[in-house]
Amino acid sequence: MEVSRHPAFFGYGSLVNRATHDHSPAVSARLSGWRRIWRQTRLRPWPFLSVEPHAGTRIEGLIAAVPGADWAALDRREAAYERTKLPPDSLTGAPGWATGVEIYAIAPRQGEDAPRGPILLSYLDVVVQGFLREFGPDGAARFFSTTAHWGPVLDDRADPLYPRGQRLGMAERAIVDDHIDGLGLARQTRRAFRP
């Protein structure tokens, strides 16, 4: 049986969490020569998760199809990002059905002179839940260790500001909280945050 071929994206943050999109087929994969970073922009008061080239670093993520090359909805979702083609030799685990794989990243110029805000806990929860489901607790730990520019966390878990927030189980929340504590990140309440 012939498998349909599609262009695809490499998701490294919230797009790893399959509950936030309906792109399929999708497979877990690894990308060499890049790292995740928290990047502040002038577009909103809290940072976006982005990527940048970084020799010697390998990150895990999800390669998912964009059937019919219909990028419009995904480009709207990722409007703050620029989409770039990845070289095939940078990917491990790329499926045969992927005609090419692209990645979304925030352009550094977007963050020039932007005031630094806290990371949304509701956003971080979604990302880590995806890593737990795709790669288990060790994969979640690798997410934290291969991500740079950590900062304070805004605890909006009870009333998420992130539009694709998900409910986490107690064990998932505990893993997120343990890593936040392990990094020594300060927590801010929503009442204390003034954008």
* Domains detected in the chain: 6-189 (3.10.490.10)
Is the Cβ–Cβ distance between 50 and 39 less than 8 Å? yes
CA–CA separation, 128 and 143 (whole Å): 8
Q: Which two tokens stand for residue 147?
A: 């991500």
What's residue 97's pLDDT? 85
What's residue 30's pLDDT? 96
Reported pTM:
0.91
Residue type, 30: R
pLDDT of the chain along its 195 residues, tens only?
A: 456 888 999 999 999 999 988 888 999 999 999 999 999 888 888 899 999 999 999 999 999 998 888 888 888 888 888 899 999 899 999 888 899 999 999 987 776 665 688 999 999 999 999 999 999 999 999 999 999 999 999 999 998 988 888 889 999 999 999 999 999 999 988 776 665
CA–CA separation, 23 and 8 (whole Å): 9
Please state at what angle helix 121-145 crosses helix 170-183, rounded to 10 degrees: 70
End-to-end CA distance of the chain: 54
Of 82, 79, 73, the closest CA to residue 21 belongs to 73
CA–CA separation, 15 and 11 (whole Å): 5
How many beta carbons lie within 10 A of that of residue 29, not counting itself? Answer: 23
Q: Which two tokens stand for residue 104?
A: 């979304």
Please compute, for residue 62, the number of CA atoms within 13 A of its CA located in the half-sphere on the CB side. Answer: 25
26-39 and 147-148 strand pairing: parallel
- Chain-centroid distance of CA 133 in Å reads 14
What's residue 195's pLDDT? 54
What's residue 1's pLDDT? 40
